[in-house]
Structure 1
Amino acid sequence: MENVVLVIHLILALSLIGTVLLQRSEGGGLGMGGGGGGATGGRPAPTAMSKVTWILAIAFICTSIALTLIAASNSANSSVVDRVDTEAGQETTAPDLGESLLPPSSDDAPLVPAAD
């Protein structure tokens, strides 16, 4: 089930990218320099391409939520540590590193006579 939703999600992502790139550029990025307010308030009428973009975007969001829910249900009541223990067949313990990560103390320094 997860693989099917993931494939649909990838197809939606690619088609959403394609439809956005195929749309006509309105110019004046971020709505700057639009001009011509008129009765429509400066907003063009929705085209078929913009409606397809909205539909693909909504479907993309739905598949994103579905993938999140599937992943959450697959990992419910399980831990990475539990999975490692069952795969290894034995309990894992952290290695005892002792003081090997600490710098040497002054007591560990060799006794060297001072040079004259």
Structure 2
Amino acid sequence: MQTVIIVVHLMIVATLIATVLLQKSEGGGLGMGGGAGFMSSRGTANLLTRTTAVLAFGFFLTSLALSWIASYDRRPSSVIVPSSQSQPASGTTPVAPPSSGGGLLDSLKKSDEQQNQPAPSGPQAPQSQ
């Protein structure tokens, strides 16, 4: 479904670009406007204006559909609290959230002390065998 909407979206984009480029320049900012081209009648200008409006509406519609499809399966997540916590392995205790008196490092240190594993005091040199 998403692929079909992307293909339609790209076709609308290409047609919209061509339609905008075919329209007569009214500003004359580059000195190229004016003169009689092959699209000089007023009826053609109305047709191109309406075609541009219809294509713009289709562009916005397909853009909204693509963004809705992209966010359809997205679940809200938090950086602070994981949405799905896995069960801890046997023999280990889960890390408690930090209390008001300490930070994350203090809670990890307490968790290591509870598991009877002393925290390393600093970097250690590798030992040869």
Q: Which has the higher contact order (CA 8 A, sep 6+)?
A: 1
Give the number of the structure whose residues are more often helix, by fraction. Answer: 1
TM norm structure 2: 0.45
